[in-house]
């Protein structure tokens, strides 16, 4: 699979929490119909996931795009990469 990095961002906060955001342009396929693969993760100083958006694995009953918290996984709509980036950053701010 040919992949080209199209977005990369990271930041660490004063409390030690940090985020890493990566997105790649890939060939469209059944698994990735938008031609985008992404992983946005917000974690504590020990690396434990506080919040993650990804489309890395299909989850029965959840859908292709999903939002992980420390205790749940739920499906979500994908309205384009720019919207997803903004939504993730807003989700972090609310935490």
Give the span between the Cα atoms of 37 and 35, in whole angstroms: 7
In the chain, which residues have pLDDT < 70?
A: 1, 57-62
Give the span between the Cα atoms of 53 and 65, in whole angstroms: 7
Question: In the prediction, which pLDDT does 23 show?
Answer: 98
Distance, C-alpha 85 to centroid of its chain: 8
pLDDT tens per residue, range 50-70: 999 999 766 665 678 999 998
Tell me how far CA of residue 17 lies from CA of 53, 67, 70, 83, in angstroms.
16, 18, 14, 23
Q: What is the pTM of this model?
A: 0.90
């Amino acid at each position: 699979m040919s992949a080209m990095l199209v977005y990369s961002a990271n930041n660490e906060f004063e409390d030690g929490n940090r985020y890493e955001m990566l997105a790649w342009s890939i060939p469209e396929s059944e698994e990735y119909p938008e031609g985008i693969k992404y992983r946005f993760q917000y974690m504590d100083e020990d690396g434990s996931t506080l919040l993650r958006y990804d489309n890395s694995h299909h989850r029965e009953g959840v859908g292709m795009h999903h939002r992980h918290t420390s205790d749940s996984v739920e499906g979500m709509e994908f309205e384009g990469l720019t919207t997803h980036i903004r939504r993730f950053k807003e989700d972090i701010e609310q935490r």
